[in-house]
A and B are shown apart, each in its own frame.
Chain A
Amino acid sequence: MTNWLLGAFAFVGNRTVSGLQGMGRAWGLFLGATASIRNVDVWLPHLLPQMARVGVASVPIALFIATFTGIVMSLQASYTLTGAIPVYFVGTLVGKTMILELGPVLTALTLAGRVGANISAELGTMRVTEQVDALETLAYDPLAYLVVPRVFAAVFMFPIVVLLAIGIGIASGWFTALQLLDMSSPEFVKGLRLFFEPWDVWFAVIKSVSFGAVVTGVGCYFGLQTERGAEGVGRSATRTVVVASMLILCLDAFWATVLL
């Protein structure tokens, strides 16, 4: 009994300590990366390639998801809004949910898998094959060389990808409303405009920026933490996706309370 209790306490204590350790390391990474922003000459040449990798290459999957989200939103909105509620509320629902929530969050969750895992695996492989050490011996700051351009690229490109996703999502929702729901364009647009606030778009952009930072930051963190070869690389990628997804949802709730 006492043993069991001791074990339980030890487990909790152990987890607490390792959790705090992880947070400390993450904080250290954050501070280091922030300090490394100084080394502009190191990260600037890599910004564009990373923007292409993080942003441009993510556009197809983001648009694919947004397209189907728009269609489903439209259909489900019309299914939900029956009776006394005017049909143009389908437009309101599609627009509002795409801009405020689904555009940023679904895109970010997808990119947590696509970009986060990719970064984590790449940096993890670099870590276990001593490429990170090699960078250091060649007097490159690995944080400036690896982390900063990736995070910056995501911070710039996530909002872009999200805006495109929102646009496509609304367009596909609109198309669905016209083709399958017997709505007219003016009706849909009326609903879209009814409760639209320009602030909504800013909200989406702010969220996307934070999601971009989180996805790439977590990817870099677990990537650089990688130990023990190929297995470690795989574990880092998995952890990245899980932790980044959780953080995205937490941040989502955070922004909703703070900004709305």
Chain B
Amino acid sequence: MSIYLTEVHKAFGPKEVLKGFSMSIEDGETAAIVGPSGIGKSVLLKHVVGLLRPDAGSVVVDGVSVPELDRKGLDRLRRRIGYVFQFAALFDSMSIAENVGMGLRRIPGWDRRRIEDRVEDCLALVELAGMGDRYPAELSGGQRKRAGLARAIAPEPKFLLYDEPTTGLDPVTTSAIDRLILRMRDELGVTGLVVTHDMTSAFRVADRIALLHDGRARFSGTPAEVKAASDPVLKGFVEGDPDLYYRDGRRREGMHAGGQDHGA
């Protein structure tokens, strides 16, 4: 029940996004990956669930090498993984309840009632109780994000991958979501990987934090280690000081210039 990323390389055409990223998340641990917009955090997360295949390196989840899995194996793995999309990725032809129930319908032996109950519970967890009949287009961005979270956690996965679960949420909802992430870890023993650039959140939920920089894990450590670290790039990012952050990265600015900026 662990995630091992070793020397993961990924390029889109000439653009190298990941250049040997390595990180390991142990069973029951929640890790955070931080980094600026367009650095490749979402790309990294998609490797874990097999949406992208690494050009080189290995991705091992729960003891199996993800890139080598066939359709069946992937499906089996994915049933144990919940993925919270950055932009929710709700099915807009379905109601919120149907969206949340999507994963549940794939579980053998679950009848309508049980699915409906579970959907209600999950919606309540993300404070969307009673909104099940609405359609994604009728929700605000934040509500949609929470609906996406509900959909990910509904099948009670063993792994949860959160792609910026709190971006764009108000502070109160943000801490509610953070609390939910912690609950998942503590009550259900979920192994979590949170992608965020919200350092407050990261410090709150993560057992370990990694900084993705220039396609590699620039730094990896506990929140305390992050706070104590002297690496200027890490310091610059944590403190939100571009001068400090880019002093080292300026040489490779071209990479960011071409980057897609869909931060918030």
Binding site for B on A (CB under 8 A): 35, 126, 129-131, 133-141
Contacts and interface: CB of A to CB of B under 8 A. Distances in A.
Contacts of B79: 139
B103 A139 contact: yes
15 contacts: A35-B71, A129-B87, A130-B86, A131-B91, A133-B46, A133-B51, A133-B89, A137-B51, A137-B78, A137-B81, A137-B82, A138-B106, A139-B75, A139-B78, A139-B106
B103 to A, nearest CB: 5
Contacts of A35: 71
Nearest to A122: B93
Given A130-B85, A133-B46, A141 B71 contact: yes
A130 B87 contact: yes
B90 interface: yes
A135 B93 CA distance: 13
B56 interface: no
A138 B51 CA distance: 12
Give chain B's interface residue range (CB within 8 Å of chain A).
20 to 34
B106 A140 contact: yes
B245 interface: no
B75 A134 contact: no
B85 A133 contact: yes
A140 B87 CA distance: 19
> Across chains A and B, which 10 residue pairs bring their CB atoms closest together, nearest first?
A137-B83, A130-B89, A134-B89, A139-B78, A139-B75, A138-B103, A139-B79, A138-B102, A133-B51, A131-B89
Contacts of A135: 91
Nearest to B51: A133
B95 to A, nearest CB: 14
A36 to B, nearest CB: 8
B78 A136 contact: yes
A226 to B, nearest CB: 15
B92 interface: yes
A134 B87 contact: no
Interface in B73-118: 74-76, 78-79, 81-83, 85-87, 89-92, 102-103, 106
B49 interface: yes
A199 B49 CA distance: 52
B83 A134 contact: yes
Contact of A134 (B71, B74, B81, B91): B91
A140 B50 CA distance: 13
B6 to A, nearest CB: 22
A137 B45 CA distance: 12
